[in-house]
Amino acid sequence: MQSRQDIACVNGARLHYQVTGTGPALVLIHGNTLDIRMWSDQVAVFAERYQVICYEMRGFGKSTVPGGEAYAPADDLALLLSHLGVAHAHILGLSLGGAVAIDFALAYPAMTAALLVADAGLREYPWQAYGAFSADVRSAAVAFGVEEARRRWLAGPLFSPAMEHPELAVRLRQMVADYSGWHWLNRELLQPLAPPAIDRLESISSPTLVIVGERDLPEFHAIAGLVQRRVPAASLAMMSGVGHMSNMEDPVRFNALVLDFLAANGSR
């Protein structure tokens, strides 16, 4: 199966990406502190039918960290797709990647063939328990160093179900160990949508699949329900027995949900 990795210089950043397979484009957007390795159970399966594009956002993996200018991650993705000669794509994101995918669908509707979000975040969502946990991790990074922040991050509720599986625990620890901690130590200058995504969900016109793990945190369930209710063409799939890292915890079920959804919406 054809696969290549490279660096694209777009929007003042150097973004690491991987392209595997041929066919309609399917973009996979990773979660916070993670990188394209989180999709290792998906790439080969999806690439049997699609051109699978994985990339690493600014500050993650092999991509450069954000600079001093405000930017929008959705713009980075649009420019990366243009660099690759892709006019439109199916967009799949998990957690932070889900928030970016939603922003992309709003900012670039003509480029969004379908929107798929798993255990997604949402810009301007009023975080409470998860927000307090994230703030504690950032404070630990400043006060005690990135290694302590990594320890608290992995020991927190977000990854608890996944860490019950020894093989997944090894994979997650490796990715988080390789994460620089830049976003914990620096203020990222993001250029937000105006109005923000949470106030514009009704404007998303793409076929939309919302996936959430049964054991994910309540706030991510609330976001999943909000997106499903307000996006006109959205459906919701709850994955039983898994938590926030749904694609890694039950890849067979996750992959089937994605492929069945895309097939039902005219893409094979």
Q: What pLDDT, on a 0 to 100 scale, did the predictor assign at position 170? A: 98
Q: What pLDDT, on a 0 to 100 scale, did the predictor assign at position 1? A: 74
Across the strands, what pairs with 92? 28, 116
Q: Are 254 and 239 in contact (CB under 8 A)?
A: yes
pLDDT, tens digit, for every residue of 67-124?
Answer: 989 999 999 999 999 999 999 999 999 999 999 999 999 999 999 999 999 999 999 9
Cα–Cα nearest to 32, from 183, 163, 143, 165? 183
pLDDT, tens digit, for every residue of 203-245?
Answer: 999 999 999 999 999 999 999 999 999 999 899 999 999 999 9
Across the strands, what pairs with 89? 112
Across the strands, what pairs with 14? 9
C-alpha 215/C-alpha 220 separation (Å) is 10
Sign of the dihedral defined by the CA atoms of residues 242, 244, 248, 251, in that order: positive
Q: What are the boundaries of each domain within the chain?
A: 3-127+188-264
Q: Are 190 and 70 in contact (CB under 8 A)?
A: yes
Q: pLDDT band at residue 198, thresholds of 50, 70 and 90?
A: very high
Sign of the dihedral defined by the CA atoms of residues 148, 149, 150, 154, in that order: positive
Q: What pLDDT, on a 0 to 100 scale, did the predictor assign at position 264? A: 94
Residue 268 pLDDT > 60: no
The CATH class given to the 3-127+188-264 domain equals alpha beta
Tokens describing residue 92: 């799949």
Residue 267 pLDDT > 80: no
DSSP code of residue 52: E
Tokens describing residue 108: 């670039």
pLDDT, tens digit, for every residue of 139-174?
Answer: 999 999 999 999 999 999 999 999 999 999 999 999
pLDDT, tens digit, for every residue of 21-77?
Answer: 999 999 999 999 999 999 999 999 999 999 999 999 999 999 999 998 999 999 999
Sheet containing strand 51-55, strands side by side: 3-10, 13-20, 51-55, 25-29, 89-94, 112-118, 208-213, 234-239
Q: What pLDDT, on a 0 to 100 scale, did the predictor assign at position 184? A: 98
- Helix ranges, the chain (H): 43-46, 73-83, 96-107, 129-144, 146-155, 160-163, 166-178, 182-185, 218-230, 246-249, 251-264
Instruction: Phi first, then psi: give them for residue 238, nearest 5 degrees.
Output: -100, 130
Q: Are 21 and 52 in contact (CB under 8 A)?
A: yes
